[in-house]
Structure 1
Amino acid sequence: MIGQILLSGLATGCIYGLVALSFVLVYKATEAVSFMQGELLMVGAFAAVLLSAAAGWPAWVAVLASVLLLALAGALIERLALRRAMGQPHLTAVLLTFGLGLVLRGAVTTVPEATHRAHLLSLPGLGGQVAWGDMVASGAQLGVIAATLLSCAALAAFFRYTRVGLALRACSENPRIASMMGVSVPAMHTLAWALGAALAALAGSLMAPVTFVHPGMGVVALKAFPAAVIGGMHSLPGALAGGVFIGVLEALAGRYLPEGVNHVAAYALMLVALLCFPRGLFGGRAA
């Protein structure tokens, strides 16, 4: 029983971790907190459903296309709207992203087909179940875990072995010195928002076979943000670890604690982490 609970929590935590990674990617590069990641997740899932069901594309091709489309959308949003908030008080960017998120959600809800019923995105290879003794894992759960591991490995390789990834790391560490060394800081900001939107879209597509696609699915970002804070807003591994930790904690709380405790566990843990580790568990110490 405990193994089944941990597996379920791990799969959910991987979703939280992917969205938390999108928060941290944006924050590290721009020092701005994006509160539209949940809406980007929802739009990415709807894009995959639209391309798969309406356009007839193979499901995995539709998912890849939705990730690329949302990356482009993230870049355009940064260039057209968010760049104007750079250098302004932090509250400006927070309110701007919050407002843009409301616009995205409102635009989706104006489409009757999106609000009248939930949509299912069936991904080949994620059906069926795998049993290990008394523990049974669904293909969707294993797919979420595998996709998260592959995404993290791809990000690690990108940041370590590519010139653009190294430039983005340099910009995240010290934009002024990076600019002096020839790195285009505005271009790196655009790239960070594009990657953040792409990760959110991937998380939405991976959620689709489990939770269906509907306008309210972006609420998962409200659990991913505490994961980013707990892990440290400057730590990519910390964001993933925070997401997994919250997912497992919720699963255990839902099984062994009174009803409803699992819904507040993430926020209570975030408050404790902020009091004991203001920079997060993986944030390190301020210089």
Structure 2
Amino acid sequence: MHINDFYNLPDNSEHFNINLEKDTKAFIDPHKIRCGNSQRTLLYEDKINDFMETLVSLLKNDKYEEAIQLCNSLSECNFIHLGYCKSNPQGKGLGTITGKELCDSIIDSEAFSEDLLTHLEDFTIFIKQIGSDRISDICARIILFDLVDFTKETLDEYKVDTGFYWENTELVSWDLTSHQFIKKKCKIPVCENNKSPFILTPKEIISEEHVTYNGLADFVRHGILAYYINNYRNFPEILELAPKNKHGEVIHPSKKAIEEKKGGVNQIFDEFFEFSDDLKREIINLYKKIKK
């Protein structure tokens, strides 16, 4: 039962058409938020950046317990109806990962010690436990109050006044002024048909297959290997893989050939951290440029 069908809403509306009976395979994407240019996405970006800066600062300054407390607030909000869940959404957001385990994973990553975690979406590259579903849950939690406002604006805009009722619920979300998660009572619509609370999300921040930064392997293939191909003449072991065209001219080798030569994705990723700081940042910037 999709919301547009149930409430007779147009498909060209600004909200994503969620299923009210189970999670829809779609994700809030921090990269799409960063690439947006609306007032809405700028506000979302400010909040996500503030959360990220606060968390990294706490960990860098050995305020470990405060960082754990911060991350313990990142549980999934089941009203969003997005993610991999196949039935009634009852997700935990970070799954079995506690705030302590998440903080430990960040601290233990080489990316953290080398100051490479600059954006929230970088977690999906460098923190193995964070994929599309979890990064989406984190984003939703940070901007949840704004999504509640967006939901009310949408229902008001299309004059939806039947088929649901309002329920007062205490929610937790990020506050830019205090730089922390706060609680407040919010009015949430509840579908009368199945008693399911729901919060709508703008289409412009949604990715349907997976988030744009799709993990370690994606970074290797579209970042590191792309860099190798663009600069293959600087790497003798890669230059020898370069074939020649019919005119005898050397052309760049394939990603597959380089990956096999280098011993696979994990080996290539490990070697990435042996590069200079400038080169690592150059490759990360290339990856982000390609993804944008």
Scaled by the length of structure 1, what TM-score is found?
0.30
Which is richer in strand? 2
Which is richer in helix? 1
Q: Which has the larger radius of gyration?
A: 2
Larger RCO, structure (CA 8 Å, separation 6 or more) = 1
